[in-house]
Amino acid sequence: MNATSVDKVSSRTASGRLPLSICHVLWSVEVGGAERVVLDLARAQRADGHRVSVVTLSNVRGAMAAEFQGVVDTLEAVPKWRGTDLSLPLRLARWFRRYGADVVHTHNELPLIYGAPGGKLARAAVVHSKHGTVAVSSRAHLLRRAAATAADVFVAVSEATAEVARRASECTPDKLRVIVNGTDLSRFPAEDGARSRIRRELDIPASARVLVKVGRLVKEKNHALLLRAVGPLLRDDRRLVIVGDGPMRGDVRALVDALPTRQYVHMTGGRSDVPALLAAADAWILSSSTEGLPIGLIEAWAAGLPVISTAVGGIPAAIEHERTGLLVPNGDEAALSSAALRAFEPDLRALQEMAQRGREHALRTYSAEKMASSYYDLYLSCRQRT
């Protein structure tokens, strides 16, 4: 137990919990699903009386930096050097000790590889969260498995993600847990006037039907499938908004420019006003080839939007087809196009009923407070073993 922890034993948070010093480790604070989860988790943890920091392995100049700075006690970078950086676990351990971390919580691959050993060297409880199922090289897989031995608990954000971890032997079975993602649902719906404001900004007619896709521009999100399926359906009163940034921005831009209907596709880049962008849309669509449990799905439900998604990762366990959303087979262009067309048809009553059931499901199941409570119980059980 840290000296900091000893000093806190006699104190309690407003909810009666032992206050903890929690350090989340991320690659960056660019816009992304894992980053949004950590931001909302940190906000809930701060509200409960815990001390929360975020350390990145790149820099603190990402698009979400200002949001993080407004929530956490400390946001700093301990940068990874080029190649395999054998010094990074030692440098992180010094940072964790200086911060007095009771819990080191790593998110995704590189933070696990470097942060988990660093947390163990700092004598903190170490929790890792696997947010997705992106394939990695065999060398990275070996490093990930080795680093997982330093984690006290390995959390998957859905049963499907947990099954991927089991099949790949990413951790020992006794360490594996499932805690579904949550988000700050108080951000939804957006403020009055957001719909008309965003449509004016993007030059979208007030009467147009709009599909929105929110997420990083990376291979796994399969924007090529989205544009093949939806592109031919677009016209002046049928628009597609693509929100996000990432390494495939140029590729996605080229695919859009090649469409005969390119003038009806709006690429916004990375944005921090996702609730407002969702308010401007009529349905949310996802074309990913792999996912954990996307935070964008929960946000879309909370915003009251009908959802359309490929049936990958943890999504089929979350969406009840034709009741809380529409599922299509992975990679099925015709099925995705058919589902998108339903969002463009005149009668939206069936989709609106799905949207209402989806919102009710999100409010019951995916709050940041519920997620934070589950992680607190896990932190405490790990801390008692360290």
Same domain flag for 274 and 314: yes
pLDDT computed for residue 7 by the predictor: 47
Helix (H) or strand (E) holding 23: strand 21-26
Domain match, 147 and 12 both: yes
Q: Is 270 exposed, middle or buried (0-12, 13-18, 19+ CB in 10 A)?
A: middle
Residues 50 and 173 in one domain: yes
Q: How many domains are there within the chain?
A: 2
**The pLDDT value given to residue 3:** 43
Helix (H), strand (E) counts: the chain? 16, 13
Token reading at 7: 């000093």
Same domain membership, residue 153 and residue 206:
no
Question: What domain range includes position 38?
Answer: 3-182+367-383
The pairing of strands 51-56 and 21-26 is parallel
d(CA 312, CA 291): 6
For the chain, give the percent of residues with pLDDT over 90. 85
| Tokens read off for 138 | 């065999």
Claim to verify: residue 83 and residue 201 sit in the same structural domain: no
pLDDT value of residue 383: 81
Residues 163 and 302 in one domain: no
Residue 274: per-residue pLDDT: 93
- pLDDT, residue 137, reads 66
Q: Which residues of the chain have pLDDT under 50?
A: 1-10
Q: 303 with 208, same domain?
A: yes
Closest C-alpha among 19, 24, 25, 26 to residue 4: 19
Contact present, 240 and 211 (Cβ < 8 Å): yes
Q: How many Å is the maximal CA-CA distance in the chain?
A: 67
pLDDT at residue number 352: 95
Residue 361: predicted pLDDT: 96
pLDDT at 127: 98
Is the peptide bond preceding residue 189 cis, with omega within 30 degrees of 0? Answer: yes
Q: In angstroms, what CA-CA distances link 53 with 2, 26, 77, 306, 317?
A: 16, 11, 11, 35, 32
DSSP string of 181-210, one letter each residue: --B-GGG-SPPTTHHHHHHHHHT--TT-EE
CA distances from 23 to 1, 99, 177, 305, 368 (A): 15, 8, 20, 34, 17
pLDDT, tens only, 99-115? 999 999 999 999 999 99
Q: Is 154 in the same domain as 290? A: no
Q: Residue 316: its pLDDT value, please? A: 96
Radius of gyration of the chain (CA): 21
Residues 374, 355, single domain; the answer is no
Do the beta carbons of residue 358 and residue 301 sit within 8 Å?
A: yes
Let me know whether 114 and 158 are in one domain: yes
> Shortest CA distance to 239 belongs to which of 276, 209, 262?
209
Domain with residue 203: its CATH number is 3.40.50.2000
| pLDDT given at position 62 | 85
pLDDT at 136: 60
pTM of this prediction exceeds 0.75:
yes
Q: What is the pLDDT of residue 6?
A: 39
Pick left, alpha or beta for residue 104 (phi over 0 → left; psi -120 to 50 → alpha; otherwise beta). Answer: beta
Domain shared by 348 and 377, yes or no:
no
| 103 three-class SS | strand
Q: Which tokens hold the place of 231?
A: 């592109």
Q: Which residues neighbour 216 within 8 Å (Cβ) at sequence distance 6 or greater?
A: 31, 32, 33, 244, 245, 246
Based on the domain organization, do 65 and 90 belong to the same domain? yes
